[in-house]
Chains A and B, each alone.
Chain A
Amino acid sequence: MSDSHPSDNAPLIAVIEDEEHLAQGLIFNLQAEGYRTHHEADGDAALEYLLRPDEAIAAVVLDCMLPGTDGFEIVRTLRKAQRFTPVLMLTARSRPEEVLEGIDAGADDYLPKPFDLSILLIRIKSLLRRTAWHRSQTSGFAETESPRRPSEPAGPASEYAFNHRTIRFDELELVAPNRTTQLTVMEADLLRYLTDREGQIVSRKEILEQVWRVHEDTDTRAIDNFIVRLRRYIEDDPAHPQHLLTVRGVGYRFLANP
């Protein structure tokens, strides 16, 4: 709806928010930070815009409750269409189930409303950094001072290989024998957390708090769907997992060599 150009090669951030005042405030701040912005207030129009093949969108700030297609559906559709633009969801509902629904749909990060401006800007910056790593890696530059060859075992958590599969954390890719899956930042973060603790039991609560920064006192099972999806990526037979195991009543355990 409204475009502006602080600088033509600045990262473009799509603001999908139907509350006019919030959108205005967000756009003002993003532009002040030097980003270009594009605003959509309607879910259907937003989806249409985000799916346009020629738009080089660096990140999306997405509200959950939108007229037309809602935020969750937008992310789901984007991911289904193989679009892995980083998505930061804003939600007025902050119950863990709802946060996880967003992450499960394929969002990379979330912030509950009302949010802290500085935190929002930091989160956006970090999402952009992840994609920047990806670009610099594919164009031959490593993010650290010492360039690595791709096959060389890297420092902590740049790549992780098991069961003929390789997780490339910086590229947000999971390379399997027959296909390469694009991961969202959240999926990559969870996989990294699990692989770093290979063989250990990781509780649901721990995952919620450490990986997704959701604080919840009661035991929630909302995370289970997410695990089911990860199994589809990393298991030969997702119905009978060998690597990502459920530990009854506690949480999960990742095994590289079962």
Chain B
Amino acid sequence: MNITRRRGTIAFFITLGVLLVGLAVTLNIGWVVLNERTVALAVFGIILFALLIAGVVLNTVFLVREVRRNERQDSFLNAVTHELKTPIASIRLYLETLQRRPVDEAQRQQFYANMLADSDRLLATVEQVLKAGQLGQRQRQQSRTLIDLEPLIIDCIAITLQRHHLSPDSIVFEPVAGAVHLRVMGIAEDLRIAVLNLLDNAVKYSPEGVHVHCSLSITQYTWATLSITDTGLGLPPNQHKRIFRRFYRVPGRSMVRIKGTGLGLFLVRNIARQHGGNAVATSPGPNQGTTITLTLPLASPASATEPSSASIKKGQQEGVEERA
């Protein structure tokens, strides 16, 4: 209901814009034809009209954008409301149950475990929202350290497996070939959030069974590349870029089943960019899985071969710059 109304609004603004531009152009030409002789005035008029037209076009673009943004913000609010209220409802239900009924020990332990899991979920949502708020502001100056990607990723995989109660073989990790340590300069906490978000998505959007493949590699000598491929719902080609927008969620019935705030990939891409890298999505199409590739600039070879305390302290510059 709401969405069709908004489509109507967008269509209205576009039509209005086009009509006004058309009218302006017609008037302009008519005016020039009628006032052929007064060249100076004609030139002045043409410039004025051009400005008017530009104004109308800009205005239309702005309005359409604003309507779209509102739409996303609305669905974000709905999603966050749900993500916040559900664990609270659950915790409250268990507390009230424990308060008013005799509960045997095993059941009690189960309730405690459920409440703990719910408070984790609540915390995760709160952190995601806060993090997105931080990223929306100007970049913070935070000290960067030398981070070895492999243990960080292995750690994140372990957390994801535990969070979703998965068997260890559902997420396969393929480390970089050879006994090389891939290290980047960065903020460990942020990189962890990014990798966890990617893994979480890969699991969430694989409703028919989780088969996730993570591989770490070096591309073009200076980039560490983490590819996370799932066999899940996939993406239509026109969504590959949009999914990184803030609050954006892929429309469609199968996607609606999966709950989320539309912040995860926004965070991932922003974190990647703050580290001088990027994140891109590719998918052969709907129901054919998705690959998200996170690229980060490698720290200088010097620090990559011997992680001395000196190179950690050097810290403020990006690995690639050091190398150059």
Chain A: residues with CB nearer than 8 A to chain B? Answer: 19, 21-22, 24-26, 28-29, 32, 65, 67-68, 92-93, 113-118
Contact = CB atoms under 8 A, between A and B. Distances in A.
B257 A113 contact: no
Nearest to B117: A21
A25 B82 contact: no
Nearest to A101: B1
User: B93, B101, B258 — which one has the most chain A CB atoms within 10 A of its CB?
Assistant: B93
Contact residues on B (Cβ < 8 Å of other chain), bracket: 20 to 34
Contacts of A113: 85-86, 88-89
A117 B85 contact: no
Contacts of A32: 101
A26 B86 contact: no
Given A117-B97, A117-B100, A25 B90 contact: yes
Given A25-B97, A29-B97, A117-B100, A93 B78 contact: yes
A224 to B, nearest CB: 13
Contact of A19 (B81, B86, B100): B86
B107 interface: yes
A114 B88 CA distance: 6
B115 to A, nearest CB: 8
B13 interface: no
Contact of B93 (A22, A65, A92): A22
Nearest to B85: A92
Contacts of B323: none
Given A21-B114, A32-B101, A116-B96, A92 B86 contact: yes
Contacts of B97: 25, 28-29, 117
Nearest to B114: A21
B94 interface: yes
A115 B89 contact: yes
A115 B96 CA distance: 10
A118 B97 CA distance: 10
Contact of A114 (B92, B107, B259): B92
A68 B259 CA distance: 12
Contact of A25 (B78, B88, B94, B117): B94
B200 interface: no
Contacts, number: 60
B84 to A, nearest CB: 8
Contact of A29 (B89, B90, B101, B110): B101
B118 interface: yes
Contacts of A93: 78, 81-82
Nearest to A43: B257
Given A25-B93, A28-B107, A32-B101, A114 B85 contact: yes
Nearest to B102: A32
B180 to A, nearest CB: 42
Nearest to B103: A28
B93 A117 contact: yes
A22 B82 CA distance: 13
A118 B93 contact: no
A141 to B, nearest CB: 33
Contacts of A92: 81-82, 85-86, 89
Contacts of B92: 114-115, 117
Given A28-B107, A92-B81, A22 B100 contact: no
A113 B86 CA distance: 7
Contact of A22 (B86, B110, B259): B86
A146 B100 CA distance: 37
Nearest to A90: B89
Contacts of A19: 86, 90
A46 to B, nearest CB: 14
Contacts of A28: 97, 107
B200 to A, nearest CB: 17
Contact of B90 (A22, A67, A68): A22
A99 to B, nearest CB: 14
26 contacts: A19-B86, A19-B90, A21-B114, A21-B118, A22-B89, A22-B90, A24-B110, A25-B90, A25-B93, A28-B97, A29-B97, A32-B101, A92-B81, A92-B82, A92-B85, A92-B86, A93-B78, A93-B81, A113-B85, A114-B85, A114-B88, A114-B89, A114-B92, A114-B93, A115-B93, A117-B97
Nearest to B84: A92
B64 to A, nearest CB: 25
Nearest to B95: A117
A117 B100 CA distance: 10
Nearest to B121: A21
A68 B94 CA distance: 27
Nearest to A23: B90
Give 5 nearest A-B pairs by CB, closest first. Answer: A114-B89, A117-B96, A113-B89, A67-B257, A25-B93
Contacts of A115: 89, 92-93
A208 B114 CA distance: 36
A93 B77 CA distance: 10
A22 B87 CA distance: 8
A32 B101 CA distance: 8
Nearest to B88: A114
Nearest to A19: B86
B82 A24 contact: no
A85 B312 CA distance: 67
User: A29, A67, A113 — which one has the most chain B CB atoms within 10 A of its CB?
Assistant: A113
